[in-house]
Amino acid sequence: MRSRARDLMNPSKQEAASKQLESFLERGGTIQKWLDVPEEELETLLQEGIRLYEEKHYGYARRIFAFLTLLAPDQPKYWRLLGSAQVKERNWEGALATFKMYATLVKDNRAARRWIRCCLKLSQLKGKHG
């Protein structure tokens, strides 16, 4: 894991490493798999994000959930939790984009569609009332 990350930061290896990563992602890989981040580490991050969310530290929780979506963008629960944190922060536009992504990842996306409608209405209200 660390050598691939270091290669991205090393100017002499950066171009080759970037091309490898791009190719890997185009073939359906994730950054989690490319960096070989164990599932246990993702679960630890997830539990920390949930703890922070439950303690109403929405900004910190949002950052963790956003990081998880970067590592494993194919996991709907990370997107749902990120959207929920954005709603708590009243970031309607961000939550709208996040729940749209969430809707593409779940088979039964009725809940996602409800969140999308809610965020649309709230963002429109925000536009009318500053």
Closest CA to 105 of 77, 63, 128: 77
pLDDT 10s digits, 40-86? 999 999 999 999 999 999 999 999 999 999 999 999 999 999 999 99
Q: Do 77 and 63 fall within a single domain?
A: yes
> Can you give the residue range of the structural domain that contains 16?
1-37
d(CA 22, CA 27): 9
Are residues 71 and 107 located together in one domain of the fold?
Answer: yes
- In order, the DSSP letters of 85-113 are HHHHTT-HHHHHHHHHHHHHH-SS-HHHH
> Is residue 120 scored above 80 in pLDDT?
no
If asked whether residues 98 and 44 sit together in one domain, one would say yes
Are residues 33 and 45 both part of a single domain?
no
Helix (H) or strand (E) holding 60: helix 58-71
Give dist(CA 85, CA 82) in Å, integer.
5
Q: Specify the pTM.
A: 0.79
Q: Are residues 63 and 2 in the same domain?
A: no
What is the CATH classification number for the domain harbouring 103? 1.25.40.10
